[in-house]
Amino acid sequence: MTTPAPPPPPSRPLSGRRLNLAIAALAVGGFAIGTTEFTIMGLLEEMRTDLGVDYAQGGHVISAYALGVVVGAPVLATLGAKKPQRTVALALMLVITLANLSSYFASGFGWMLVSRFLSGLPHGAYFGVAAVIAATLADPAKRGRAISMVMLGLSIANVLGVPFATWLGQQFGWRSMFLLVGVIGLGTLVLIRIFVPSVPVRPGASIRAELGALRRPQLWMTLLIGIVGFGGFFAVYSYISPIMTEVAGLRAALLPLVVALYGMGMVVGNVLGGRLADRSVMGSIRAVMGAIVVILLVFPLAATTPCSACLFVFLVGTSGSMLIPPLQARLLDVAPGAPSLASSMNHSALNTANALGASVGGAVITAGWGFTSPALVGAGLAVLGLGVAVVSSRMDRRDAQSMQDGLPGGSDDAPGSSVATAGSRSSGSR
């Protein structure tokens, strides 16, 4: 089977101020997405009371967004395969903006449920397309850093956007959060139109070619790493509130600072993860997965005092976010003929991991194992993720050896393919 050619970059990679402005414009969109995704959780009580629904129905509003992400990421990325990537990014951000404005005007539970589902639909596809654009515009040796900078918008949203939007919703009504996101979305449209250059449509791009990536074993292996590995991460973070108050003895009034500390960890992790990915994609995935295992194993001991618990909240946020850039880069490598679909599916995997981690963590707490038990279960999931990464690396080496020997059996997933260039330094599976 012939490996599809990677998409051609612009006449030459951008650098300096032009590249920074282009990536910053895309990152602002990530900031808007992160703000609307997480703020609603902090305003759940206000929303539930105003709409006259119970807690279960309020939870359905949150779940509707996650369902939209899982469904929309592969579907919208595939449908946009033959369109210029900047045009796709603009269209997706327009949907995000209009859907949030619809939530602002929603007069009942049903309208809100549909609006939140529509808000989630472009989430994964936007990040997928933005990552492809960043990787295409940047120098191949700095591809991982470019991807991480796009994702930085989501991390900064947890530090600044979510706390501010929560305060805004408390002071001026919970719906004002959606209006804020709508305004940020409009600003993003302008910034992308001005600062992100047009990237030519990849030769041979088609819906059929994008869907063809689903036949690649390494694509599913990478998604499985994200689902299982991040499942362990979310098993802990989903129950960070009772862990910090009941185990660490922290006052509930200080929980917003804990959340901000976690967000700061995400920012640091994104930056470090991008730099690691530029050195070795698979090497960084294995190393970060190992670090997650160690951190989650030690977490139950650290959670007994406020200071050490806060330190490990930061480390959990850092280690989890360090995994995102190399996973995103890996998906671009293993599906060079379908970069948008592969990259966007990473966010479907992460939302699946969110549901998996929360369910498993809740089950062990309900079983009476204690509030810190999700960390141990999470460590077990991270070990499974590490095992999948090791197997995936061995498959890379086997395919590479087969190609060197001139034997059949080398697959499309052999290392060395990249959305930026087949010879990029970051695309190997060292």
For residue 360, pLDDT beyond 60:
yes
pLDDT band at residue 205, thresholds of 50, 70 and 90?
low
Contact 231, 353 (CB under 8 A): yes
Greater confidence (135 vs 59) lies with: 135
How many C-beta atoms lie closer than 10 Å to residue 251's C-beta?
9
Q: State how far the alpha carbon of 348 is from the alpha carbons of 120, 345, 362, 405, in Å.
A: 11, 5, 21, 37
d(CA 349, CA 345): 6
Give the CA-trace dihedral at 117, 123, 126, 132, to 10 degrees.
-140
pLDDT confidence of residue 12: 54
| Average pLDDT of the segment spanning 372-385 | 92
Considering only 41-45, 95-99, 159-163, 198-202, which range has the smallest mean pLDDT? 198-202
Residue 82 pLDDT class (50, 70, 90 cuts)? confident
pLDDT at 403 over 80: no
The closest of 208, 191, 7, 199 to 87, measured between CA atoms, is: 199
What's the whole-number mean pLDDT along residues 319-328?
A: 90
Question: Cα separation of 89 and 95, whole Å?
Answer: 10
What whole-number distance in Å separates Cα of residue 415 and Cα of residue 282? Answer: 10
Q: Are 216 and 128 in contact (CB under 8 A)?
A: no
What's at 194, amino acid-wise?
I
Predicted local distance difference test score (pLDDT) of residue 401: 80
How much is the mean pLDDT over the chain?
83
pLDDT score of 407: 54
Q: What is the C-alpha separation between 426 and 177, in angstroms, rounded?
A: 39
- As a whole number of angstroms, the distance between CA 293 and CA 300 comes to 12
Quote the pLDDT of residue 351: 77
One-letter amino acid for residue 163 of the chain: P
Rg (CA), the chain: 21
* pLDDT > 90: percent of the chain: 38
In tens, the pLDDT along 241-260 reads 788 888 999 887 787 788 78
pLDDT in tens, 106-120: 989 999 999 999 999
- Position 58 confidence tier, pLDDT thresholds 50, 70, 90: confident
Query: Domains in the chain, please, with CATH?
Result: 7-205 (1.20.1250.20), 212-430 (1.20.1250.20)
CA distances from 292 to 174, 218, 263, 375, 379 (A): 35, 22, 17, 10, 7
pLDDT at 177: 93
**What are the structure tokens assigned to 343, written together?**
């990259």
